[in-house]
Amino acid sequence: MQPDAQYISTRGQIDPVSFQDAVLMGLATDGGLLLPREIPDLSGQLPRLAALPYPELATQVMLPFVAGSLTEAELRVLVERSYATFRHPEVTPLVAAGPVHILELFHGPTLAFKDVALQLLGNLFEHVLAKTGQKLNILGATSGDTGSAAIAGVRGRQGIHIFIMHPNGKVSPLQERQMTSVLDANVHNIAIEGTFDDGQHVLKEIFNDLPFKQEYALGAVNSVNWARVLAQVVYYFHAAFRLQAETGCAKIQVSVPTGNFGDIFAGYVAMRMGAPIARLILATNENDILARFFNTGVYARGQVFATSSPSMDIQVASNFERYLYYRVGQDPVRLRELMAEFARTGRIVLEPGDTTIVADAGNQAQTLATIATYYRDHGYLLDPHTAVGVAVGERFLDPATPTVCLATAHPAKFPATIQEAVGQDVAHHPILDALADLPTRCTVLPATKTAIEQFMRDKLGSL
């Protein structure tokens, strides 16, 4: 029998909580991020895990993290229900394209990698709330795909309302329509006057308003929620096992387009668990705060640049604190000092020293050129975020270690960029084409804690 999983805050000022409580808490009440007290070592189980289909692999990889809150049978039911919504039998298939392999993470309901985690999170929320009789009001901020995936995960569910903030006019029109065309009574879309970083700042302010958080039973779907990261850990194992079977390689390397550091942190966790991964390749666009950190040791806030990969147009990565906790030797006092310094000055410095992650940035011209090259030479159409990952991943190719690039969205979500890159209108998907004539609902608000809290009070008070 496994010991119960326990979760602690990176800032070390809460008592350990169960997986179930961690899922509902989202952001820790001391302002930190939740992490398991111990990361299990699965290195001795790799041959057994490699033979499993995706849903069963997900069950076995996640099982040690949910002990005490979910039985194996309960977890298996939730996992199978979540991935039954995906349109590919492998859930996240691996496809060869030129010098790399592409792990397609966009076969879920909203055609984005966020579905892998948020379909599961929606089912987890519903399961826990049914068991406890509680209600939950979700508040999230999105730079594009998180919002629509979160909405798809909880729309129409009992006991849940969801409020999603996106930067007004700064997500792709299709991403916006995927969110605002959902008219279920429990879905509330907010276009904030500002950037995604402004939305993240407001989100943290509200979650740190503990009386409001408690009164309105706030929960999180952003990657601050540990269950988001946990679900994403699985596909790193899956990719490695599939490529080992295909090539006989000992390990793989994975290129991850990232802005918020959640997806690549899941890969970091997978490596700590013993997944056969030699290193991670962190790929950013011009918003390169993370690439600069891994190359110089300086983590410094900069200007947010609008690009054709808008989900990566971020200068403050909300999951970076989890990684930083391990970089400072799991010392919450040192972590608190660094986060206070960053809040005060917008800058912290660490000595470079983690060889598990290499990093670089790809600019707009390189993104477009990569889309064009892969379409012309390999017959494969990349979305602009995935193209950043491929462009950077190609700089770190290793003949002995196959490279997997994570495909984070279907190219049809970015038709204008695809047409600019390849000169043809080839990026379509029937799910997205059907959005064109649907009615929408959205409220434009200032990016302030006061405005968002009042909006939530007005909506929830009238229910």
Q: Would you name the residues annotated as active-site residues?
A: 114
Secondary structure in 3-state letters for the chain: CCCCCCEEECCCCCCCECHHHHHHHCECCCCCEEEECCCCCCHHHHHHHHCCCHHHHHHHHHHHHHCCCCCHHHHHHHHHHHHCCCCCCCCCCEEEECCEEEEECCCCCCCECHHHHHHHHHHHHHHHHHHHCCCEEEEEECCCHHHHHHHHHHCCCCCEEEEEEEECCCCCHHHHHHHHCCCCCCEEEEEEECCHHHHHHHHHHHHCCHHHHHHCCEECCCCCCHHHHHHHHHHHHHHHHHHHHHHCCCCEEEEEECCCCHHHHHHHHHHHHCCCEEEEEEEECCCCHHHHHHHHCEEECCCCCCCCCHHHCCCCCCCHHHHHHHHCCCCHHHHHHHHHHHHHHCEEECCCCCCCEEEEECCHHHHHHHHHHHHHHHCCCCCHHHHHHHHHHHHHCECCECEEEEECECHHHCHHHHHHHHCCCCCCCHHHHCCCCCCCCCEEEECCHHHHHHHHHHHHHCC
Beta partners for residue 252, in sequence order: 277
Cβ contacts of 336 within 8 Å, gap of 6 or more:
11, 12
Q: How far is CA 129 from CA 66, 124, 154, 202, 253, in A?
A: 16, 8, 12, 26, 39
User: What are the contacts of 200-205 at 24+ separation with CB within 8 A?
Assistant: 200/141, 200/314, 200/316, 200/318, 201/316, 201/447, 202/141, 202/165, 202/447, 202/448, 202/449, 202/452, 203/139, 203/140, 203/141, 203/165, 204/27, 204/31, 204/318, 205/449
Question: In the structure encoding, which two tokens stand for residue 230, read together?
Answer: 């946990």
